[in-house]
Structure 1
Amino acid sequence: MGFQRINTLSDIAKRGYWLKLTCKCGHMRRCDPDKLLERLMRRGADTRLSHLAKNMKCGMCGRKDFEATHCEGAADRFAIRCAA
């Protein structure tokens, strides 16, 4: 089995991972990719991780400069309100 690139929120959801967002200020949250994907698809929004990283807003500092990756495990108890 070879390496499979993960470029979109759908890629994360299909593999059973969670979305991990880390702001430049150090604030980190994990959220359910299925819930975010549903909201984004209703709006016709771009679901590429590179797009999400530039458009999600940090609840701590207000920046729009995240690193969007995937991780295993459940969402944080106080997860980001997944609204892009």
Structure 2
Amino acid sequence: MSSKRLETLRDFARHGYKIRIDCACGRVVLVDPHQMLLTLQEKGEDRISLERLATKLKCYRCGSRPRRIGP
């Protein structure tokens, strides 16, 4: 059994995992890392860690930051 390091969006895209984003309000979203990378590349931020990504995201329902981001 192998272990995979999933620290950046590129890691998720490379291994074929979707990113699960959980909000404090109970909303759960599965995001395609490829699409998110394309959006961030337009802004010049394609090498971003999950910790840094969490500071850029907000829930459109309640306005809070993600409670959890992971596979």
Residue equivalent to 1:47:
48
Amino acid of the structure 1 residue aligned with 2:53: L
Segments of 5+ residues of structure 2 without an aligned counterpart are: none
Amino acid of the structure 1 residue aligned with 2:17: Y
RMSD: 1.5
- Identity among equivalent positions (%) equals 33
C-alpha contact 1:49 1:68 (8 A) present in aligned 2? yes
Q: Give TM-score, length-normalised by structure 2.
A: 0.84
Q: 1:40 to 1:66 in 2, by over 3 A?
A: farther
Instruction: Give the Cα separation in 2 of the matches to 1:59 and 1:17.
Output: 23
Segments of 4+ in structure 1 off by > 6 A? none
Segments of 5+ residues of structure 1 without an aligned counterpart are: 71-84
User: What does 1:58-77 correspond to in 2, within 5 Å?
Assistant: 58-70=59-71
1:64, distance to aligned residue in structure 2 (A): 2.0
C-alpha contact 2:21 2:66 (8 A) present in aligned 1? no
**Does 1:11 pair with 2:47?**
no
- How many residue pairs get aligned? The number is 70
Residue equivalent to 2:37:
37
